[in-house]
Amino acid sequence: MDPDKASALDKQDDLACYRQEFYLKEGIIYMDGNSLGLPSKRTEAALLQMLEAWKEHGIDGWTKGDKPWYYLSETLGGQSAFLVGAKPHEVIVTGSTTVNLHQLAASFFKPEGKRTKILADELNFPSDIYALQSQLSLKGLDADTHLVKVKSKDGQTLDEDEIIACMTEDVAMAVLPTVLYRSGQLLDIERLTKAAHERGIIIGFDGCHSVGAIPHEMHKWGTDFAYWCNYKYVNGGPGAAAGLFVHEKHLGRKRPGLSGWFGSNKEQQFDMEHTFTPADSAGAYQIGTPHIFSSAPLSASLEMFKEATMAAIRRKSLSMTRVMMDLIEEELSGYSFEIVNPKEDARRGGHVALMHPEAARICKALKQDGVIPDYRSPNIIRLAPAPFYTSYGEIWKTVQFLKTIMREKRYEQFENIREVIA
């Protein structure tokens, strides 16, 4: 593909109109939207409006203004539901990814009889593993023997048959990623959910690398729970309040494992009784006071997703990653790059994962040229064209920068070690 073809694709792009809504720095190509999405003018306005509400109402902001704080988490949960294919009462915006996993594991992991193990995988994000190890320890179980991690044959992807084979009669709960954070492999969530339930296993998913990039049908598939961050593809800002989903079949049937007063029935919360009356929605899984300013930008961002539709976002994401992979194969042959993400549309998330022994120093060279990539130890370069604000022209330029860096060996001026934050 040449620059003219990239320009033609940009002219045909139905989502190109959203690019002007984002704060893009001149001379910078941002390919890290799968780690931290960029701010839009709408999200800035939403955050400032929330600040104005504080200035205007003081403590009465909890119940007054356009977006009363007391109901904000539930309101945003309802607005987020379409991202994961859920009913509005099945989703709440609260906490952080790891805190939400702790809450969900504390609520759903009930070791009993033979079933005393948690199933995860060896490629999962470290924080998830730490949380699961902690939950086992709190139950008096040895994580070395009770946390089963599915092995990867190639070190990059997982085989669903292998995952299902590990769903043995001693497993009580499975926690898996929707999309693997390094390789970008998209797992078959529906198949894995069905297999787990056929074996009497509760199953939940970490959606951090799929929510906002890939349509889901969590309610229809019967997934027990899911959790995700809102600062990657959803563009909610650094430290944005996270989201969690609990299927309605579980709502109102059990007390959350970690109770806190914002999980109360809203009408009774301020009765100040020492008897906890949980909400009959996913709101019951809240713990503490919502983070208002970390939630405020989400309403504006979700508005854009609703307008654009997840179907259109997924179409463009697949098209952009396909173009990028084709360009890499055309332009970078002979430079020892290996595309390790699945190439099939049905198995690919929102980013391209390039493996190279000099990955850390290549990322530094890209940043020097104004391309912002993402590095994941030990040897992965992640490139994530974001449907809202990345152009096809930028994809073409990124690959040309890579080609120049490799041809001129400009990466050799850098050490092949990660920065403090990769």
Calculate the CA dihedral of residues 251, 257, 263, 268 and round it to 10 degrees. Answer: 90
Backbone angles phi, psi at 69, to 5 degrees: -65, -30
Catalytic: 382?
Answer: yes
The yes-or-no answer on residue 206 being catalytic is yes
Binding residue numbers:
97-98, 125-128, 206, 209, 231, 261, 289
Residue among 42, 67, 232, 376 flagged as catalytic: 232
Q: Are 201 and 171 in contact (CB under 8 A)?
A: yes
Which residues carry a binding-site annotation for pyridoxal 5'-phosphate? Answer: 97-98, 125-128, 206, 209, 231, 261, 289
Pair type for strands 352-355 and 371-372: unpaired
Residue 93 backbone dihedrals phi, psi, to 5 degrees: -95, 115
Contact 82, 306 (CB under 8 A): yes
Say if CB 269 and CB 261 are below 8 A apart.
yes
Active-site residue (options: 125, 262, 337, 411): 125
Q: What is the largest CA-CA distance in the chain?
A: 70
The DSSP call for residue 95 is: S
The residues, ordered by sequence, that sit 6+ positions from 120 with a Cβ below 8 Å of its Cβ are 128, 129, 132, 147, 148, 149, 150, 174, 175, 176
Residue 115 annotated in active site: no
231 included as an active-site residue? yes
Active site residue 232: yes
Candidate list 382, 388, 401, 411, residue with the active-site label: 382
| Catalytic residue list | 125, 206, 231-232, 382
